Amino acid sequence: MIELKNVHKHFGRKKVLDGISFTANKGEITCLVGVNGVGKTTILNAIMNLTPIKKGEITIDGELMRPDLYNKVAFIPDVAIMLPNMTVHEAMDFMKDYYVSWNCKRAKEITRFFRLNLTEKISELSKGNQAKVNLLMGLALDVDYILMDEPFSGIDIFTREQITDVFSSRLVEDRGVLITTHEIFDIEHLIDKVVLLDNGVIYKEFNAEEMRETEGKSVVDVMREAYNR
């Protein structure tokens, strides 16, 4: 379980996270939603120790982040993070060199699934294919948790469909997924838990399906409710 307890984060004088607490469980898809600048990416960066927090605690299965836990949690940011002059194949070799959790068989499976050309340089790939390479680098790791930041941003409809398929495929089964997205329609039916952020705090934490069934509201309806207060 990824657990955030009373997490505070400031950017200069601006309070971005003001006592955020929630959990993301293994085997569940948790979605962080909120308008731009609400701190979704900051939360993911903070979990991966890529930005310091002012106060609070973040644990992964009860442990504070340390280097070997990067074999347990993978982060797929919304920017290209492998060297542009690497080919897809070289990028895979790089991952294999450093991560004991790198699963070569699964990596090959994903390259086939996404129809990636292994000999092509990352810099020469389209934005959609770069996003697929990012996904490949995260999904081919035998990790318990995957964090994804805006996996659909700036991506065409067909690639988006392919990425959506990932969520329902066995590539993420049994893992805990924590995702941020604005394109909530694409994955609403797959989400287990929604954490809605507003003004640095959690406005509401709910089960998407339950909300649909009991109150007849979609995730976007709840978001509207929050931001139209």
Partner 1 sequence: MKKSLHNFLKFTNFELERLSKFLFALMGITFIANLVGYIYTPMKYMGKINEYIAQNSATSEQAIQQYGPFSFYNALNSFWIVGPIALGISGFIFYSFFIWYREWFGKNTFAYRLLMLPIHRMTLFYSKLVVVFIGIFTLISTQMISLFIGYPIVSAIIENTYYVNQSLMEAVQLHPLFLYLFPLDLGFFLTINAVGLVVLLVLFTAILMERSYAVKGIVLGIIYAVVALTLVLLPLFLPDLLNNHYILYGSELIIIEAILLVIVAVLSLFTSRHLINKKITV
Residue 94 CB, nearest distance to partner 1 (Å)?
8
Task: Extract long-range pairs of 103-106: CB within 8 Å, 24+ residues apart.
Answer: 103/140, 103/141, 103/142, 104/140, 106/139, 106/140, 106/142, 106/171
Query: Binding to partner 1 (CB under 8 A): which residues in 102-131?
Result: 122-123
Cβ density class 45-56: b for 16+ within 10 Å, e for less: bbbbeeeebeeb
CA atoms within 13 A on the CB side of 162: 19
Query: Binding to partner 1 (CB under 8 A): which residues in 75-104?
Result: 75, 77, 79-84, 94, 97-100
Query: Would you say 11 or 185 has its CB closer to partner 1?
Result: 11
Query: Would you say 83 or 220 has its CB closer to partner 1?
Result: 83
Rounded Cα distance between 211 and 214, Å, is 5
Query: Would you say 133 or 223 has its CB closer to partner 1?
Result: 133
Query: Binding to partner 1 (CB under 8 A): which residues in 129-188?
Result: 137
Query: Binding to partner 1 (CB under 8 A): which residues in 44-73?
Result: 45, 48-52, 67-71
Query: Would you say 52 or 216 has its CB closer to partner 1?
Result: 52
Residue 50 CB, nearest distance to partner 1 (Å)?
4
Q: Which amino acid is located at 156 in the chain?
A: D
Residue 146 CB, nearest distance to partner 1 (Å)?
12
Residue 73 CB, nearest distance to partner 1 (Å)?
9
Residue 97 CB, nearest distance to partner 1 (Å)?
6
Shortest CA distance to 197 belongs to which of 72, 76, 17? 17
Cβ density class 161-199: b for 16+ within 10 Å, e for less: ebbbebbeeebbeebbbbbbbeebebbbeebbbbbbbbe
Residues forming the site for partner 1 (CB under 8 A)? 45, 48-52, 67-71, 75, 77, 79-84, 94, 97-100, 122-123, 137
